[in-house]
Chains A and B, each alone.
Chain A
C-alpha cells in the first residue's frame, strides 16, 4: 500500500510569498493528482502529471518519478489561494491514494 506524505501539514504565509508544498510516496506510481479543497469542502483538480512539470497561471507542479516526489508551487500568493492542497497518487488496486493535505493560509 502506498504511503503518501505531504509537508508541511500547515502553512501560513504573507500575500505575495512563493509557496512550496511537497508530496512524497513510497511505491512507484504512474501519475499523481494535485487537488485543491476549498473551505466549503468542494474539491477541484489542479493538475494530473506523470513526468516533468506543468504550469497553470500562478501554479506550477513538478514530479520526479525516480525520487517518488512531487511539489506544488504557488507564485505571488494571494488570500484566495487559501485552501487545503491534496496530493493523490495513482497505482494499486485501491484507486487513488490521498495525502492528508496541506492547510494553506495566505494573509493579506
Chain B
C-alpha cells in the first residue's frame, strides 16, 4: 500500500530556532494536512492544504506556522521561532479528496519535535 513519508522521525531544537518538518504525501493525492499530538493529549488539527493554498486552519496555526509545497512532491511545515510548547508529535496526512467529506486519510509515521 502507498505510504506517506515523514522526515526526520525525531527533531531536537533550541527554543527560538526555526524548524522545517518534511512530508512526502502519496503521489496522486491532492489534499494535505498537518496534525499534532502533545504527549498525553489528543490529536489536534493544524492545517489543510489544497491547490497550493491553505484551505482550513485551526487557531493553533498562528503566524509562527507556515506550510509549503515547494516542488510538487514535498509538503513542509515550518515553525519560525519554536517555543517549548511546540514540543509534540507532528503528523502529516494526505487524501485523494477532502477529508471533510467521504475519504480515507493516510497518515505518516510522525516527527517527534522536542524543543529545549
Contacts and interface: CB of A to CB of B under 8 A. Distances in A.
Interface of A: 30-31, 33, 35, 40-45, 48, 50, 86, 88, 90-91, 93-101
Contacts of A95: 33, 45, 47-48, 56, 58, 99-100
B43 A43 contact: yes
A7 B45 CA distance: 21
A35 B42 CA distance: 12
Contact of A44 (B43, B45, B59, B107): B107
A48 B105 contact: yes
Given A43-B107, A94-B56, A98-B43, 19 more contacts: A31-B101, A35-B43, A41-B109, A41-B112, A43-B43, A44-B107, A45-B106, A48-B105, A93-B56, A94-B58, A95-B45, A95-B48, A95-B58, A95-B100, A96-B35, A98-B42, A98-B44, A98-B45, A100-B42
Nearest to B60: A94
